[in-house]
Amino acid sequence: MRILSGIQPSGTMHIGNYLGAVRQWVSAQNPEAFYCVVDLHALTLQIEPERLRDQTVDCLAWLLAAGLDPEVCTIFVQSHVPYHSQMNWLLECVATYGELSRMTQFKEKASRQEGYRVGLLTYPVLMAGDILLYSTEEVPVGDDQIQHLELTRDIAERFNNRYGETFVVPVGVAAPTSARVMDFQDPTRKMSKSVASALGLIYLNDEASEIDKKIMKAVTDTDNEVRFDWEKKPGLSNLLEMFASFTGETPAGVAERYTRYGDLKKDLAEIVIDALTPIARRYREIRADEGELRTLAAHGAQKAMDVAGPLYRRAATAMGL
Ligand code: AMP
Ligand code: TRP
């Protein structure tokens, strides 16, 4: 199965990235799977150049620590494969301003800043290129990216109709549970690196005591009935989903076993600590050998070029270049 997905090197990975995306990547990895650290996408944010370089290497290390195996799948950095930028231009001449300006993520991010970059608007086109360059069949992502996947499908179909069959039309696949992990302090808001309240999100490198504190202090309602109900009990439902996605139960099944919020939180904290501690330990080992990480990225880029190059040339030729 040809798979591709990406993650921005915009800070330490959080539990939403892990449960919503990266854990799916690990279980789906195969010789046809491509996973990409999307440093070009991170340029839509204000980020110091040195920091971006560092975080790109960090992100590679987190992916390995979470269980991706470069012997099994291909792991690479987006900017190392120039076809991504080149494909972006071709697809910018297929996508329309109207469809890009309707994207929820664009509208949200643009409303939070003055003089936002054009890249914020065209961001999903670059992402469509990432996916289409690899004849991708499935794209494992968190729920917030599903709209971008719909756009990718539209762009691929339009291109194929206009210029002849070139691209595979991919499908986006969200995780069955925890596809949208919410902020612990504001469960109506997605857990996110960019809008972080100190207690709102768990980073993969948080100390056990911090994880414990964040979960115990997570905002819940006051009626004290343990029940899975996103409408009326978003805070509690967020915790139940997280619990279920670690244990393989259903969120409602977990709810049935508890009568008190405190007991549920205590057990969840233990489960999260047990799951994340070994990942953080592996991360520290892997991150210590930066040379090895760079070699791995170079090897991944070569494998990616071999697939992306021919597809880019086909698309360019089809358009008359
Ligand atoms: P990003 O950090 O925005 O590059 O996201 C990388 C991956 O993590 C994407 O597949 C996102 O959909 C996913 N993701 C990000 N935040 C969350 C969240 N709060 N819950 C579930 N998945 C998420
Ligand atoms: N836009 C995605 C995000 O913010 C990251 C991304 C870039 C991506 N290119 C991709 C995800 C290709 C899947 C496939 O999370």
- Rounded Cα distance between 143 and 133, Å, is 22
Mean pLDDT of 176-199: 88
Give the C-alpha separation, 104 to 236, whole Å.
26
C-alpha distances out from residue 220 to 193, 197, 223, 225, 250, Å:
22, 16, 9, 11, 19
Taking only the tens place, the pLDDT of each residue in 295-316 is: 999 999 999 999 999 999 999 9
pLDDT band, residue 195 (cuts 50/70/90): low
Asked whether the beta carbons of 251 and 237 are under 8 A apart, the reply is yes
The average pLDDT across 249-275 equals: 97
Instruction: Say yes or no: CB of residue 16 within 6 Å of ligand 1.
Output: yes
Ligand 1 proximity of 124 Cβ (cutoff 6 Å): no
**pLDDT at position 194 over 80:** no
In the predicted model, what is the mean pLDDT of residues 163-179? 95
Å from CA of 162 to ligand 1 middle? 33
| pLDDT higher than 80, residue 196 | no
Q: Per-residue pLDDT tens for 52-65?
A: 999 999 999 999 99
Q: Is residue 79 part of a domain?
A: yes
Tell me what pLDDT residue 234 has. 96
Decide if 200 is inside a domain.
Answer: no
Distance between CA 33 and CA 282 in Å, rounded? 22
pLDDT at 6: 98
Catalytic annotation on 213? no
Do 8 and 77 lie in a common domain?
Answer: yes
Mean pLDDT throughout 96-107?
Answer: 97
Tokens 């070699």 belong to residue: 295
314 & 237 share domain: no
133 falls within a domain: yes
Q: Is the pLDDT of residue 197 over 90?
A: no
Per-residue pLDDT for 42 more than 70? yes
Q: Which of 7, 15, 17, 246 to mutate to test the pocket of ligand 1 (most atoms within 8 A of CB)?
A: 17
Q: What residue numbers bound the domain in which 134 lies?
A: 3-179+289-318
Ligand 1 atom 5 nearest Cα: 7
pLDDT at 215: 98
Would you say the CB of residue 139 lies under 6 angstroms from ligand 2? yes
- Say yes or no: 252 and 277 in one domain: yes
The reply to whether 303 belongs to the active site is no
Domain count, the chain: 2
Does residue 148 fall inside a structural domain?
yes
Q: Separation of 127 CA from ligand 2 center, angstroms?
A: 6
Q: Point out the ligand 2 atom lying closest to the alpha carbon of residue 130.
A: 12
The mean of the pLDDT values for the chain is 96
Is the CB of 145 within 6 Å of ligand 2? yes
Q: Look up residue 188 and give its two tokens.
A: 């109506």
What CATH number has the domain bearing residue 259?
Answer: 1.10.240.10
Same domain, 245 and 298: no
Q: Considering Cα of 82, then 291, then 68, then 70, what sign does the dihedral take?
A: positive
**Pair 154, 298 in one domain:** yes
Region 20-31: what's the mean pLDDT? 97
What CA–CA distance (Å, rounded) separates 52 from 49? 5
Atom of ligand 2 lying closest to residue 148 CA: 1
